[in-house]
Amino acid sequence: MKLLEERILKDGNVLSDSVLKVDSFLTHQVDYELMQEIGQVLADTYQDAGITKVVTIEASGIAPALYTASALDVPMIFAKKHKNITMTEGILTAEVYSFTKQVTSTISIASKFLSQVDKVLIVDDILANGQAAKGLIEIIQQAGAQVAGLGIVIEKSFQPGRQELEDQGIKVTSLARLASFANGQIEFAEADV
| 128 assigned binding-site residue | yes
For residue 138, count other CB atoms closer than 10 A to its CB.
15
Closest CA to 157 of 140, 174, 170: 174
Output the CA–CA distances (angstroms, integers) from residue 73 to 82, 151, 173, in the order listed: 28, 16, 19
Shorter beta-carbon distance to ligand 5GP: residue 90 or 178? 178
Q: In terms of CB distance, is 131 or 173 closer to ligand 5GP?
A: 131
User: What span, in angstroms and rounded, lies between the C-alpha atoms of 174 and 153?
Assistant: 6
When the beta carbons of 22 and 63 are compared against ligand 5GP, the nearer one is: 22
Residue 100 · residue 131 · CB < 8 Å: no
Q: Smallest distance from the beta carbon of 90 to ligand 5GP, in angstroms?
A: 25
Residues of this chain that bind ligand 5GP (CB under 6 A):
19-22, 27, 60, 99-100, 124-132, 161
Cβ of residue 115: shortest distance to ligand 5GP, in angstroms? 25
Query: Is 156 labelled a binding residue?
Result: yes
Q: Which H/E stretch holds residue 146?
A: strand 146-156
Binding residues for 5-phospho-alpha-D-ribose 1-diphosphate, as ranges, are 128-132
Annotated binding-site residues read 20, 27, 128-132, 156
